[in-house]
Amino acid sequence: MTLIKENLLAYSLTAVALVLGFAVLFFAAGSGGAEPPQGNGGDDGELTAMLSEFEIAGDLVAKPGAVTIDVMNVGSIAHNLIVVGEARTSNIESGQSEVLNVGTLAEGTFSVICDIAGHLEAGMKSTLVVRTIQDS
């Protein structure tokens, strides 16, 4: 009888692990191939990014010059935001925010990631586009 209980526990844990694994793959597939943003945010160099499991959302398009990003963690676990090669936040707890002063940027594209273990691999990445923004 003990062997049956141990086998049931092992099978149950395996099933839970499979379900969680498929959930991570599902969310990663939904956010990993996103096109760079095309909006006109950042007219004043101030952008907003929202971090959640496992996504970096926001209109990350700015004009050349000084760029800051108001980073909000709307997820349930800690995240961070890194503009690769430029600037990074600390690990931001759920419900908290931090202003990231990226510095003065010329036109170009910059990778944006969360480097907490497993988050990048789960699709937590985006692109910051710095370009001349046409007035509407």
Res 1: pLDDT: 60
Res 73: pLDDT: 97
The DSSP element (H or E) to which 25 belongs, if any, is: helix 2-31
| CATH of range 32-130; options 3.90.1150.10, 2.60.40.420, 2.40.40.20, 3.90.226.10 | 2.60.40.420
Residue type, 4: I
Res 134: pLDDT: 76
Domain limits of the chain? 32-130
10-residue block means of pLDDT along the chain (136 residues)?
55 46 44 42 78 95 97 97 98 98 97 96 96 76
Show the CA angle centred on residue 39, arms to residues 33 and 43, nearest 5°. 135
